[in-house]
Amino acid sequence: MQQPLVSIISVHFNEPEATQEMLVSLRSCRYKRKEIIVVDNGSSKGNIQNLVNEFQEVLFLKSNKNLGFAGGNNLALPFIKGEYVFFLNNDAIVSPETIEKLVGFLETTPKAGMVSPLIFFPKQEQEERFRVQFAGTTRVHPITGRNESIGKYGFDFGQFNRPQEIPYPHGAAMMVRKSMIEQIGSMSEDFFLYYEELDWACRATRNDWQIWLEPEAKVIHQESLATGADSAFKTYYLDRSRILFMQRNQSKMNFLGFLAFYLFLVFPKDVIRNLLRNKSDIIRAKWKAIAWNLNHIFEKQQIVSPKNVTITALLPLSKSFHFKANVE
């Protein structure tokens, strides 16, 4: 019996070294029936042509704009042929059995629409074991808008050894059924960064799909490589997306409770804390996040790529042709 085809999508942005490591790890995977699509999401640094020449088995698509996480991934969807779609961050490294384990799980769990592997932080020199980055989370609290990561930062002692149903996948590594995407649509591009996979999971579960963790599949992920661990950029999109997520996935009463909690407790506390740290840029980012949501609060969900985005297929220099298409 032939293996199902897996389409792997990874979004590249200004990090050719990280993307190279990710692609090398995919070459070592035992699962052979796969296609790989890398989307250069409006990069302004690094020479991706070197990657195009080195990895000639990969389809490289270049967007002339940064479409965000959801937009960059969605750009590749019209090109996929696989029964399963593996969304993989370009700063992630897969173990040789990862794809095989994820496919095996989906093949035997028909109600599973999404499955994520067990995800680790890179091992530090002084550490003998990996630290856990993702082994599932709790549900987002209807008032605080927060949730907790299970086992995060703890060492891996094999304690996560059974598949678990979880509320949300991890966007850095998640395998999704193509049939589920056809039913519920792709990730919403309104989020740009953060919470888009949580929102997608809520849409999936409302349509009777399940979300799972398969710990026999393993990935190493360098967290916040592109956005910075404590930057105004990351703060803006985290806060903006958290408010938007709560608006779309909570009852009106719970959303009003969340807004009151955020505006009258969380926000003032964060302002004072960042004033003491002399981080006025973080305070401005939080103001901008609130303003964005006030301006868009009555808009309906959009899952459409921006107009006038040019997609170019990048080919090895030995090839003499290229492809262009306009997304309208």
Name the residue ranges covered by the structural domains of the chain: 6-225+303-327, 232-296
Q: pLDDT value at position 309?
A: 76
319 token code pair: 């090839």
Rounded Cα gap, residues 29 and 8, in angstroms: 12
Is residue 92 within 8 Å of residue 219, measured between CB atoms? Answer: yes
State if pTM tops 0.85. yes
Return the residue matching tokens 């299970």: 150
Q: pLDDT value at position 45?
A: 84
Rounded Cα gap, residues 209 and 201, in angstroms: 9
Q: pLDDT value at position 314?
A: 85
Is residue 63 within 8 Å of residue 309, measured between CB atoms? Answer: yes
Rounded Cα gap, residues 36 and 23, in angstroms: 9
* Identity of residue 102: L
User: Which of 103, 155, 148 has its CA nearest to residue 126?
Assistant: 155
Is residue 149 within 8 Å of residue 169, measured between CB atoms? Answer: no
Q: Which class for 97: exposed (0-12), middle (13-18), buried (19 or more C-beta within 10 A)?
A: middle
User: Which of 318, 310, 328 has its CA nearest to residue 63?
Assistant: 310
Q: How many CB atoms are closer than 10 A to CB 251?
A: 9
120 DSSP β-pair partners = 132, 220
In the chain, which residue ranges form alpha helices assigned H by DSSP? Answer: 16-27, 49-54, 68-76, 98-108, 178-184, 196-206, 232-249, 252-261, 267-276, 280-296
Per-residue pLDDT 10s for the chain (328 aa) are 789 999 999 999 998 999 999 999 999 999 999 999 999 998 888 788 999 999 999 999 999 889 999 999 999 999 999 999 999 999 999 999 999 999 999 999 999 999 999 999 999 888 889 999 999 999 999 999 999 999 999 999 999 999 999 999 999 999 999 999 999 999 999 999 999 999 999 999 999 999 999 999 999 998 755 555 678 999 999 999 999 999 999 999 999 999 999 999 999 999 999 999 999 999 999 999 999 998 887 665 554 455 667 788 887 865 544 444 333 3
CA angle, 195 as apex, 193 and 196 as ends, to 5°? 75
What CATH number does the domain located at 6-225+303-327 have? 3.90.550.10
Is residue 243 within 8 Å of residue 255, measured between CB atoms? Answer: no
Is residue 88 within 8 Å of residue 22, measured between CB atoms? Answer: yes
Q: pLDDT value at position 2?
A: 86
Q: pLDDT value at position 228?
A: 54
Q: pLDDT value at position 320?
A: 42
Q: pLDDT value at position 249?
A: 96
Cα separation values, 268 from 232, 275, 289, Å: 17, 11, 14
Q: pLDDT value at position 226?
A: 54
Is residue 131 within 8 Å of residue 120, measured between CB atoms? Answer: yes
Rounded Cα gap, residues 115 and 215, in angstroms: 10
CA angle, 143 as apex, 138 and 146 as ends, to 5°? 40
